[in-house]
Chain A
Amino acid sequence: MEYAITALQTLFHPLYFIIMLGGVILGVVFGAIPGLTGTMAITLLLPITFTMPAELGIMTLLSIYVGGVSGGFIAATLVGIPGAPSSVATCFDAYPLSQRGETTKALGTGIIGSFIGTFFSTIIAVLFCPLIARFAIMLGPWEYFGLCVCAITLVISLSQGNIFKGMASACLGIFLSSVGFAPFDASRRFTFGIVNINGGIDMVALMLGLFAIYQVATNYALETQELPAIQSKKLRGIGLTLKELKDNTVNIIRSFMIGLWIGFLPGMGAGISNMVAYAQAKSSSKHPERFGQGCVDGIFASEVSNNASVGGAIIPMISLGIPGDTTTAIMLSGLIIHGIEPGPMLMSRNPEYVYIIFASVLLASVITLILQLLSMNLFPRLLQLPYHYLFGSIVMICFVGAFSSSNTLFNCGLMLFFAFLAFLMAMGGLPMGPLLLAFILGSQLEINLRRSLTMAAGDITVFFSRPISCILMIVALASLVIPIIKIFKQRRTCNAGDK
């Protein structure tokens, strides 16, 4: 209780509150504009939070995260293009509803759905994190190794395209994480005499290159910056009636549970939960024919579920130190940069930070709700911001951010190198998620692997002789082997067809 009160006192400090408000606004703007994402906003702001006190840095990053996930529905409603992958299903009904002249209702449903998802999933996270952390304290390096492997393989198996490409991307991430001094013995690896990478590859340069510069460069190269015109009428009120909210109670609860569970699982985030919840809502509806024509139920299903994934993803991030998707992986690295090591020990060592994290998400969701309700009239203008000014500013912030993370221009070069690498990966069809997750979890993986094998005198079967690590390793192996078998089966069918 004492920590909860301290967390609230911190949050309501006037300066902290204003910065949080700014974070939410930035998150909503980046989430709303197609081509920009909340993940990109977190990456851009990360260097700026370096010199902030840890609690303020966390609050800023979390407020951008919440705003970013929520803002995705704005473009989905107004122009029929999802601002983020988490809002793909929102387009199906929000855009037709808006086209029918009921833009206020479509936006209002999105705002209320987003709030319900984020706020209540965080309450669940508050209740579950201590329980999971208490259990996780009993885990040894074998189980931790299994958990990290499991998280990476699940992300690989769910990444689009060929499974071998997902695996190759993770292997590249492992290689990049092993650059610099090795743990335990401090052997120098792959530094080629460059002192700037003795301590490893700079996380900020890598993230800015992969998620900001690459994104801007590709959008510019492919000329995908133009948005369709928006019919902007005066928007008033919420547009949603209490009856519509009541009629959707079951739909909201079901979508909430789907989002929470999918967010909790590694590799699956808001990008998948909105589609699953939408499909479920449609199949269980008494009037499925209305879906896709501007049905409020569809907007609720998509927006409640994708925002419920926020709380779901926070649970393993805080209690186990394992990120669920790319955005939480970046959030996790942000916490590490601020000296906070998420995992079971965080609850006992720094409970004040845990409460600040929960309180920040809760407050950010309330701020997002109020802000979006009050500024609904500005949404059409938000999507009319000139891209050339936006992208130009992002590039400049990237350079300054990369430089400031280590006070050397080498980092700017490194950032450009990673943007180039991301580009080559996209040309080769290699997904980015496994690389980032393997890079962030790489040091944990290696430390736990070497610790486990040292304790077991080099016996590799130790990972299969302990029940939890055995289950995790089997899940990890199955998630890789099953898709590989499928590929070779497909190939056989293809060859048989040719003959």
Chain B
Amino acid sequence: MEKQNGQDKIVALTLLVLGILIFALTARINLNIKLASGDPGPRFFPYISAVGLILCGGGLLLSNIHDSKMLTLNKNNWKNLFKLSLLLLLYMLGLKTLGYLISTPIITFLLIRVLAYGKKINGIVLTLFSLLLTGLLYGLFVHILNIMLPTGMLF
């Protein structure tokens, strides 16, 4: 059995800090009405989670056992994750400014290229797929399910 390493200790300390933070925030919850006798009130439940997190953080530190089930990434994995995150945030921005119909085909095109790890993809097929997916989702949500999709601020 291996002993805790730095990553294990960070997890334990994060849980401790998070528990203390939730505890402090819970203490600031305002009571709207006078509570019935015996009712522990709206703070009780969040207090349970805060105390639980503090105990778990403490327990992890005291148990001093390494957990081999933790996800670890190498430099390349981080690079991939960064690229994908950037695209997803860009899509959020695109939905807000350009709206669904303009930003979706562009981001779908870019996203599939990124997800293919630079493999050769037929540009025409990819363009058609991006347009088709955008149209299919638009038709399904707007025309069949009557749910509006983002229209954007600029157009």
Contact = CB atoms under 8 A, between A and B. Distances in A.
Interface in A391-413: 391-393, 395-397, 399-400, 403-404, 407, 409, 412-413
A386 to B, nearest CB: 8
B45 A446 contact: yes
Contact of B56 (A167, A391, A396): A167
Interface string B43-60: 011101110110111011
B148 interface: yes
Interface residues of B, number: 84
B88 interface: yes
Interface residues of A, number: 75
Contacts of A396: 104, 107-108, 111, 133-134, 137
Interface in B101-119: 104, 107-108, 111-113, 115-117, 119
Contacts of B104: 396
Interface in A341-370: none
B1 interface: yes
A152 to B, nearest CB: 11
A458 B42 contact: no
Given A184-B39, A220-B84, A426-B70, A168 B33 contact: no
Nearest to A177: B45
Interface stretch (A72-80, A121-129, A271-279, A486-494): A486-494
Nearest to A387: B115
A168 B81 contact: no
A373 interface: no
Contacts of A455: 38
Interface in A140-168: 160-162, 164-165, 167-168
B56 A458 contact: no
Contacts of A184: 39, 42
Contacts, number: 217
A2 to B, nearest CB: 32
Contacts of B108: 392-393, 396
A167 B51 CA distance: 11
Nearest to A431: B69
A223 B36 CA distance: 56
Given A185-B35, A221-B84, A161 B67 contact: yes
B38 A453 contact: yes
A391 B63 contact: no
A94 B105 CA distance: 41
Contact of A392 (B11, B76, B111): B111
Secondary structure at the B interface, as helix, strand, loop or mixed, is: helix
Secondary structure at the A interface, as helix, strand, loop or mixed, is: helix
B43 to A, nearest CB: 8
Contacts of A397: 137
A222 B22 CA distance: 33
B70 A428 contact: yes
A241 interface: no
B147 A168 contact: no
B69 A160 contact: yes
A395 B59 contact: no
A395 B88 contact: yes
B3 A400 contact: no
Contacts of B7: 427-428
A48 interface: yes
B57 A168 contact: yes
A223 B56 contact: no
B150 A162 contact: no
A217 interface: yes
Contacts of B50: 171, 175
A461 interface: no
A460 to B, nearest CB: 9
A388 B112 contact: yes
Interface in A456-482: 456-459
Given A162-B63, A395-B111, 5 more contacts: A218-B71, A387-B115, A400-B137, A416-B92, A446-B45
20 contacts: A51-B146, A161-B67, A162-B63, A164-B56, A168-B15, A174-B46, A185-B33, A185-B42, A187-B29, A217-B81, A400-B149, A409-B92, A412-B95, A416-B88, A427-B7, A429-B70, A445-B45, A450-B41, A453-B38, A490-B1
